[in-house]
Amino acid sequence: MTHQQPQSEQHTSRTTIRIFIVAAVVLLISAVAALWFAVPAADTRHVLVSPSGNRSLEMSELCQPMGCKRITIADELQPDGTHLRTGCLPQRAETTPLFDTLTAEWSSSEDSVTIEFTPANGPSGTMTIVLANCILAE
């Protein structure tokens, strides 16, 4: 002997499940959107690739009223096709964005790169990054 629920109870149960699923999806989308907008994007980001294409530098800066955080990552293509990524120590301590535009001149051995930068406001400058000094683990 089986017991079936009346038709009205089955309909109420389906409606409740649908409302729960819709509410869960809306909550999930809201949480992802909140995280997306809470994490600020870098003010500037540049990728400087060596002439051979085996090495590159990724340079980013994020500036806030109290100063700028600059990140430089060296990427070197390994013989097995994998990439070795290491962080470079901060080169500049200015509190305003510097890397509005960048040009790079790689050394012939591609072990260093001289970067000419022009900020949106202020004087331009140069700096040299020696890839052997990029020793910070990713």
- In this predicted model, what pLDDT tens digit does every residue of 5-34 receive, in sequence order? 555 555 566 778 888 888 888 888 877 777
Contacts of 126 (CB under 8 A, 6+ apart): 114, 115, 116, 117
Structural domain for 20, as ranges: 1-39
pTM of the model as a whole: 0.63
Residues 68 and 2 in one domain: no
3-state SS assignment for residue 37: helix
Residues 67 and 129 in one domain: yes
The H-or-E segment that residue 59 falls in is: strand 55-64
Residues 63 and 32 in one domain: no
Residues 94 and 128 in one domain: yes
Residues 12 and 65 in one domain: no
The rounded distance, in Å, linking the Cα atoms of 17 and 38 is 32
Whole-number CA gyration radius for the chain = 26
Q: What percent of the chain shows pLDDT beyond 90?
A: 32
Question: Could you give the number of structural domains in the chain?
Answer: 2
Residues 22 and 69 in one domain: no
